[in-house]
Structure 1
Amino acid sequence: MTATPSPGPTQNPTMLDRIRRLFGGAPDDGRIRPTVNATRAIELVDAGATLVDVRESSEWKSGHALRAVHIPLGQIDQGARRLHKNRPVVVVCASGMRSRTAAKTLRTLGYEATSVSGGMAAWQRAGGDMKR
């Protein structure tokens, strides 16, 4: 019995692939998605991904994830040098808006980056560790 190959550049995409693209997703190719829920983000960090908090300094000081690296959104281009390109990057902010922007920037710089949907509140609700 042979496995059905996934659609390549010359094959027609499946209905599921077309729906994923329509809603901003990508075919399941093993790479992390542009946005993940907090439970998946915690799994990625536990597996070795770097967690980057892009909130402002005052927000960071009010509480942040224990393993997070602080790189405010306005410094993400220069701060990316502190990250390893061979390690996935999970980006978090207060609500998920700034982290989506930062993750997109990091992807254009060659990082495999994703944003935490729902931000720090979702991280905490999912059981993510915090330092106050």
Structure 2
Amino acid sequence: MKEITAKDLASKLKDSENVSIIDVREDEEVAQGKIPGAKHIPLGQIPERLNEIDKEKHHFMVCRSGGRSGNACSFLSEQGYDVTNMAGGMLDWEDKVEK
């Protein structure tokens, strides 16, 4: 599984790269703040919401610590998606968040 550090993903955002970030945490976790521009799809809803995830794009998957987003990456990779896990999750995120 491909991985990226929180710091490297933050750099991509600062460089205005067009990145797709999907936050797979639960509603109450996301309410505390998410990466600006990230799309929120709780892990358990990914199978029924695949139509919301563009298969032509590369997506960075995020959760609290990297475990659930890793599971999401495994599942999406099996479905033919190009995904990268943000290692360490939001616990490692030191940049701005939106609420």
TM-score (norm 1): 0.66
Taking structure 1 as reference, are residues 87 and 42 closer, same or farther at Cα in structure 2, changes over 3 Å only? farther
Are 1:73 and 2:43 counterparts? Answer: yes
Match of 1:58 in 2: 28
Are 1:34 and 2:2 counterparts? Answer: yes
Q: Name the structure where strand makes up a greater proportion of residues.
A: 2
Match of 1:114 among 61, 84, 88: 84
Deviation of residue 75 (structure 1)? 0.8
Deviation of residue 44 (structure 1)? 4.7
User: RCO higher in 1 or 2 (8 Å CA, sep ≥ 6)?
Assistant: 2
Residue identity (%):
32
Count of residue pairs the alignment pairs up = 97
Gaps of 5+ in 1: 1-32
Taking structure 1 as reference, are residues 40 and 131 closer, same or farther at Cα in structure 2, changes over 3 Å only? same
Match of 1:14 in 2: none
Larger Rg over CA atoms: 1
Please give the alpha-carbon distance, in whole angstroms, between the structure 1 residues aligned to 2:2 and 2:98.
26
Gaps of 5+ in 2: none
User: Does the 8 Å contact 1:44/1:90 carry over to 2?
Assistant: no
